[in-house]
Amino acid sequence: MSKMKVAIIGSGNIGTDLMIKVIRHSKNLEMCAMVGIDPDSDGLARANRMGYITTHKGIDGLVDLPEWKDIKIIFDATSAKAHHYNWSVVEQYPDKRIIDLTPAAIGPFLVPPVNFDASHNVKNVNMVTCGGQATIPMVAAVNRVAKVHYGEIVASIASKSAGPGTRANIDEFTETTAHAIEQVGGAEKGKAIIILNPAEPPVIMRDTVFTLSEQGDKAAIVDSIHKMVAEVQKYVPGYTLHHNIQFDDISEDKPVFIEGLGNRYGLKTTILLQVEGAGHYLPAYAGNLDIMTSAAIATADQFAQESLATN
């Protein structure tokens, strides 16, 4: 069976984990090139040892390779700032797609179990953030039963799993995730908070999701949430609920004030998640990075499957 050739821009932890996932687990993708800007990076060294093409000259170095013509999907695991330049190059080639793992959000947001079907003809898709990939499915699960007025997420990750790229993009993380809670999750208003936990030993990623929605059937909401968890587990087995779903009724005579929405009442739902990484390249506690790379691979695999089926 033929596979679609891919390149990875960014030879840090995320890019290297993407490479391992493509090589070991992808059904439809073939690793072709690893791209970085640091010739001494571990990611480039690993790719070299495994026999793959590498360049430390960034996207321009990739375009200069003879293999460029055969590469159809590019993963961008750099930074929000770098992605703007990378996309300005890739968009000139109509036969190529880019999957953006930075918070640049040039292309539309994509969370695989929620809105993959809207991305078929899109050349640049944005994987939101680690917090977004973990929590937006839960907001969407509530929203398909009862309209969500407000969605707030708190992502707590091990400080050791937050590299320089993550730290440099904290502002973009909160803004991008909040927008995606609205645009993909379906909330009228979204808010995102990230916590870098310095505990030793490092803690597994934990996420808390709060929604305030119209009143709805609580059993139906629980069922919707469990079905969505099962969808995410298809590509992130370590994605689990670590506590029972909690409900609070907010009465009309005691509403809560939400900035930008005013006073609102209805049903408050609290969802507590845990994301344990698969340990392919990154440690198991780095579920925040694993869910991003896993979602990106799941997206690229589906893109490739659809393209290969029509050719």
Residue 41: its pLDDT value, please?
94
- Per the omega criterion (within 30 degrees of 0), is the bond before 201 cis? yes
The verdict on 86 and 157 lying in the same domain is no
Assess whether 85 and 178 both reside in one domain.
no
Backbone dihedral angles phi then psi of residue 51, each to the nearest 5 degrees: 90, 15
32 is catalytic: no
Spatial contact of 258 and 151, defined as CB atoms under 8 Å apart:
no
Which residues of the chain register pLDDT less than 70?
1, 165
Closest CA to 153 of 172, 167, 171, 173: 173
Distance of alpha carbon 87 from alpha carbon 237, whole angstroms: 31
List C-alpha distances in Å: 124 to 23, 72, 96, 258, 291.
Answer: 23, 12, 9, 33, 19
Residues 160 and 275 in one domain: yes
Tokens 């709805």, located at residue:
216
Pairing mode, strands 53-55 and 29-35? parallel
For residue 169, the model assigns a pLDDT of: 76
Domains in the chain: how many in total? 2
Element (H, E) at 222: helix 218-233
Domain match, 191 and 148 both = yes
| Closest to 142 in 3D by CA, of 247, 263, 258, 295 | 247
**Same domain, residue pair 169 and 105:** no
Q: With left for phi above 0 and alpha for psi between -120 and 50, is residue 39 left, alpha or beta?
A: alpha
Q: Write the single-letter amino acid at 310.
A: T
Query: Same structural domain for residues 235 and 140?
Result: yes
Give the pLDDT of residue 104.
Answer: 87
27 and 139 inside one domain: no
Q: Is 94 helix (H, G, I), strand (E, B) or coil?
A: coil
Please indicate, yes or no, whether residues 208 and 75 belong to a single structural domain of this protein: no
Same structural domain, 248 and 235: yes
* Structural domain harbouring 274: 130-283
Tell me, yes or no, whether 218 and 117 share the same domain: no
Which CATH number characterizes residue 97's domain?
A: 3.40.50.720
Which positions ≥6 away from 190 have C-beta within 8 Å? 139, 150, 151, 152, 153, 177, 178, 179, 180, 181, 182
DSSP codes, 24-68: HH-SSEEEEEEE-S-TT-HHHHHHHHTT-EEESSHHHHHHTSGGG
- pLDDT tens profile 260-273: 999 999 999 999 99
Catalytic option among 130, 141, 158, 297: 130
CATH number of the domain encompassing residue 275:
3.30.360.10
- At 1 the pLDDT is 56
**Sign of the Cα pseudo-torsion (190, 168, 277, 296, in order):** positive
pLDDT (tens digit per residue) in 17-29: 999 999 999 999 9
Residues 148 and 113 in one domain: no
> What pLDDT was estimated at residue 133?
97
Written as six digits, the tokens of 14 are 């995320």
